[in-house]
Amino acid sequence: MGKLFLVPTPIGNLEDITFRAIRVLKEADLILAEDTRNSGKLLKHFDISTQMISHHMHNEHKTVDHLIGRLQAGETFALISDAGTPAISDPGFLLTRACVEAGIQVDCLPGATAFVPALVNSGLPNDKFVFEGFLPVKKGRQTRLKLLAEENRTMIFYESPHKLLKTLTNFTEYFGADRQVSVSREITKLHEETIRGTAEEVLKHYTQKPPKGEIVIIVAGNK
């Protein structure tokens, strides 16, 4: 019986990869990558020559049975996403669940993920929090926001730059203009920044300065 490793990869700064992650990627029989072009740059940087194939949201349902068969035959796979920890708003859950159901060992290595540094850096309470990931784009968005308006734990959201203003506007409408918000952008990268303030203040900032890059939003719970 083989084994599946979930291997976090840097979200920006390549120095954030662990020695163990590099070893696992070199020793695996196969690397499953969300985007082979993106991951190819990482593997080249660390001189990793392991065979790599695509494994993403558009093909994972079709390939999972085949991959399970190879794992049962004794192969070892390393699964990586474009950045951060697999299965956190990225591919990985489907294959992990299938491995667990088939009795195949799964090891998730500790490592880079965007929401932990954003949460700690926000200055908002982090003893209890809820990870929401991406809000629904259309259907269910209003319902979700109404429910979250009553959430008393700190909330974590992922958002794309071109939807940030819409989401911050929604926060002012459903959570209140004075709700404390922290937006971390380009974490670990050259132009990393964190903007903190009320929902209204942060919305005003990004209205005047359109955002770029990967974004994590931390929102205080309802007091």
* C-alpha span between 2 and 5 (Å, rounded): 10
The dihedral through the CA atoms of 165, 170, 173, 177 has a sign that is negative
| Distance (Å, whole) CA 76 – CA 155 | 36
Structural domains present in the chain: 3-108 (3.40.1010.10), 115-219 (3.30.950.10)
Residue 66 CA to residue 149 CA, distance in Å, equals 43
Q: 124: which 2 tokens?
A: 């908002």
What's residue 61's pLDDT?
Answer: 84
Q: How far apart are CA 89 and CA 81, in angstroms?
A: 10
With 0-12 / 13-18 / 19 or more C-beta atoms within 10 angstroms meaning exposed / middle / buried, residue 50 is middle
As to burial, measured by CB atoms within 10 angstroms (0-12 exposed, 13-18 middle, 19+ buried), residue 181 is: buried
| The amino acid at 134 | F
Query: Sign of the C-alpha dihedral, residues 39, 40, 44, 45?
Result: negative
CA distances from 144 to 141, 154, 176, 193 (A): 5, 15, 15, 28
Task: Kindly give the confidence (pLDDT) of every residue in the chain, 223 residues in length, as a single tens digit, with 9 standing for 90 and above.
Answer: 999 999 999 999 999 999 999 999 999 999 999 999 999 999 999 999 999 999 988 888 888 999 999 999 999 999 999 999 999 888 899 999 999 999 999 999 999 999 999 999 999 999 999 999 999 998 899 999 999 999 999 999 999 999 999 999 999 999 999 999 999 999 999 999 999 999 999 999 999 999 999 999 999 999 8
Looking at this protein, which amino acid is placed at residue 154?
T
Q: What single string gives the DSSP state of each residue in 136-183?
A: PSSTTHHHHHHHHTT--SEEEEEE-GGGHHHHHHHHHHHT-TTSEEEE
